[in-house]
Amino acid sequence: MNYRHAFHAGSFADVFKHAVLCRILNYLREKPAAFRVIDTHAGAGLYDLTSAEASRGGEWQDGIGRLLEARLPDKIAALLAPYLDVVGSLNEHGKLTSYPGSPALTRAMLRSQDRLIACELEPQADATLMHHLQRDSRIKCLQIDGWMALSAYVPPKERRGLVLIDPPFEQENDFARLATGLAAAHRKWATGIYALWYPIKGRSEADALAKRLKRLGIGKILRAELIVSPLSDPTGLNGSGMIIVNPPWTLESELSQLLPALTGILARQGKGHFTLDWLASDAAAVR
């Protein structure tokens, strides 16, 4: 995958990932206690969909573009509202030119007592991220390797919150590092919510990741996958997955409604499907 996320901003994978992210953030907001979000691979924060990079592939047209054009049942619209409200706030009515990355979505959902640590190593993306977020006192932007941040910044002093792990998958060992990084962080902060995103080209890497995670002995691991095209061509991005550790108790039910709807909207030529299952489920959900 290309590290410069501007090529992929607003794609089907972003829609899926960010819809899940916003459901988790919405849950965290429901209690008055402060929470912290640690975004280990934050990217640039905000993306211009009219830029040369975004226009070259036009991936947003089959992602957020399709979603905004779809007629949504009331229940689905309500579940997507926290996400789509942020997208709408960044664009003039009827004209889509900007797309928020995970730091911008998170910032929009922070309250005065909440905090975000946004980590980005790549210099150009880090500079853009700083430009967008540096004036917000609730946010700390760090030019640091996300894998190092995963170890260094847990547990947060709030003892409540989310770690979003969304690496670029340019390195061959990124799938393995998802499991080892999660294991190390979970040993330090066992009650935190962790959300891990991964690409799906074929089944081998995603299935190997699931096996590694099952061996970790973590009590509550929910897996959600959205496949938009057949896995017969492993050279392209055919789907993506989210692993949620210690998911909010509401999330499984919400995803059981969202995933069929998103599959229907985002699948290519009607050939998509989704997965929602537990890799481990012997601990109580986060409340």
Handedness of CA 251, 47, 173, 205 (dihedral sign): positive
**Beta bridge pairs of residue 140:** 117
Hey, what are 137's tokens?
A: 């006192």
Q: 251: Cβ–Cβ under 8 A, 6 or more apart, which residues?
A: 20, 23, 24, 27, 222, 244
Q: Are 21 and 164 in contact (CB under 8 A)?
A: yes
Query: Helices (H) and strands (E) in the chain — how many of each?
Result: 10, 10
- In the set 48, 166, 174, 282, the catalytic residue is 166
114 is catalytic: no
166, 224, 229, 278 from 178: Cα distances, Å? 9, 16, 24, 17
Residues with Cβ within 8 Å of 94's Cβ and at least 6 positions away in sequence, in order, are none
> Is residue 190 classed as helix, strand or coil in its secondary structure?
coil
Given CA atoms 15, 51, 109, 165 in this order, what sign does their dihedral have?
positive
Q: CA nearest 194: which of 245, 132, 258? A: 245
Q: How do beta strands 193-200 and 239-245 pair? A: antiparallel
**Cα dist from 128 to 10, 26, 45, 106, 235, whole Å:** 17, 26, 7, 16, 30
Q: What amino acid positions are annotated as catalytic residues?
A: 166
